[in-house]
Structure 1
Amino acid sequence: MVAVNRVFVAQLAGLPVFGPDGEPIGRARDVVISLRIDRQPPRVLGMVLELVTRRRIFVPMLRVMSVEPNAVTLATGQVNLRAFHQRANEVLVVGELLDAHVRLEDGSTAIVIDAAMEPTRTRDWRMTRVAARVRTGRLGRRGPVQVWRWEDITGLSVNELAGQPQGAQQLLAVFEGMRAADVASTLHALPSKRRYEVADALDDERLADVIEELSEDDQKDLLAHLHEERAADILEAMNPDDAADLLAELPEPDKDRLLGLMEPEESEPVRRLLKYSFDTAGGLMTPEPIILTPDATIAEALARVRNPDLTPALASMVFVCRAPSATPTGRYLGCVHIQRLLREPPFDLVAGVLDTDLASLSPDASLEDVTRYFAAYNLVCAPVIDETEHLLGAVTVDDVLDHLLPDDWRETGLTHA
């Protein structure tokens, strides 16, 4: 029994999805419909769910037991974990319908902000309503939001959607609050045209975060779409190690041109990382760990650790060096683990609680050596030191995992719901 009679899809996106026994499956991300030649409401084929591994799968609507305001529940049976691939004549409601321009019966135009589906007596679902904002006046000013029957509007055929330029305001509203990894997964599933429109609409910082979470092929594709000046701005906003990894995959002329367009203070750490092989500690490290001088206090160290932009791995350790404190630093003195910081008086100096016995990695250490290091010391972050005892950066366990996992680790199988 379906819990509600009408579901607006943009509000559905992001809801948790559970199996019949209450076990978490993932999150609803989109709804797939099959457009018709005539203007009758299209059939809803199913939902796109995102698993905890970020893989997106397709679940037919017949497998949906209930749709409630705060969750979706699946019926008993198997869930096919094969990655979702969009077919011809299929349309993603959130990904492709939002922000589309439609025509009303009176000749006016409107912009789609949501669409609603309803169940039929045969347990089928139909996309029956479209919520759109009317454009008024010569300048197309924003008018009121109204809901129309599907058959009362035109402009949503496959060809019309592919041919018209779309904004991304409503889709970005759906992305609000989503992790960059989740937005990246959504972008990967979109057609190229829509992906580029969203990338153009995202601000530089947000787009940089999203690109860091994309596959290598998707990264290069988006970077090639952007104007070179903006591509350089995006690279500046990325973490230097991620920017270096991306640039290393480009042809030498493109790499050199983009590095030349970057601000010198932003390109310099990236150039240093590019000197190392991708499968060494130098190629894996970030040049921007938490670095303090020995006269810093425990309170200062904790304040730096609380930075929400830091990953948990980078926040697990503070490195103490003599000036200068930018990599490559002055002489490396040691590190302080976050657990130790939490146990010490806030006005004591970090110099008094250093771990000076922890082994470090050389920038030429192999991926195997780095892996053994983490396994031996049970750490999630490690210092990279050159032969003159200068700190060059830090390797985190997530960087290592990215290189250890096989390319097909997200490949599908079958599980039971």
Structure 2
Amino acid sequence: MRTSISDAAKLRALIDAEAQRAGFDAIAVTTPDAIPLAPARLAEFVADGFHGSMGWIAETLERRSVPSTLWPEVRSIVVLAMNYGPDHDPRDLLARPDRGAVSVYARNRDYHEVMKGRLKEIAGKIVARAGGDVKVFVDTAPVMEKPLAAAAGLGWQGKHTNLVSRAHGSWLFLGTIFTTAELAPDLAEIDHCGSCRACLDACPTDAFPAPYRLDARRCISYLTIENKGPIPHEFREAIGNRIYGCDDCLAACPWNKFARAASEAKLAARDDLREPALADLLRLDDTAFRAFFSGSPVKRIGRDRFIRNVLIAAGNSGDATLAGAVRALLGDGSPLVRGAAIWALARLVSDAEYSQTAETGLNTESDDTVREEWRLSRPTRAFA
């Protein structure tokens, strides 16, 4: 859709004003052809298997790489960012092993819900002013938001592969509005990481084979959220008490010193997810899980995967008072939960008690993966 320079300037002013009114902290515009390096980088990521079990990335490779393949009519892409920066260093909670560490973004109401309605309102104003058509995306379609945000000038992709902003550090939610209107693009941001490797060194599981490259299969966020099966034994101790996601590489970024804490009211922040007790979480059945995490992104992984994560944290806690709650989950209906409970129990009770329980467990368990946990989790307690 052809737009005169004067009309485009007025439309941009309207978009900026509406974005600010809707609570967005940054906005910029780019074009569909602004990320020419993205296809090759994404193809390499998939070819190396770094996407793990996230098959949809490989399946949507072409559409994800080139925005105009997703929607040929797009002429401009408006990228909007919302700050979700914490008022503290989330890594402080790692020193409290009886508590579960939930990634900062997930302590708020699901950002898809928070942002999408507001983006649709802005998109509606664009159509009302300029006509044409629009499409709104918030991390639910094959759109590469981070490269687009960098091309639009909102920040740059740091060595941890996440977007870094000079104004907001590493704490930004991203959303996009694809429009048929022609808007003047903003200048791309340059990389300001320099020789810093704080984010790379902060990773507990060495998930970065090189700067700007992430092997998701080793990432705690992937392991605790996207991974549907048992967490590989090699990563369990490193996970510590992280029960949903991981903020270590984000929190380590020096650019965070310029960021301000996000408005808790804007994001519908939940205080009960700042430092939840493992003992309470272990008791959640499916109904209680759904009720407790209503409106939270945590709800999307389901109760069984979540309890699996909590059990890994319990096993790492060294807190023998959790053994009773862990033992109760040995009879859970989910093999995923039973397997994680075995590992946790092996680290919380005496060798003799574990061996006696394992003998019974092996005689009654029919699931091969759970039986294998009994064998692999033989007494090798890390805590005396």
TM-score (norm 2): 0.28
TM-score (norm 1): 0.26
The structure where helix makes up a greater share of residues is 2
Bigger radius of gyration, 1 or 2? Answer: 1
The structure where strand makes up a greater share of residues is 1
Bigger RCO of structures 1 and 2 (CA < 8 A, at least 6 apart): 2
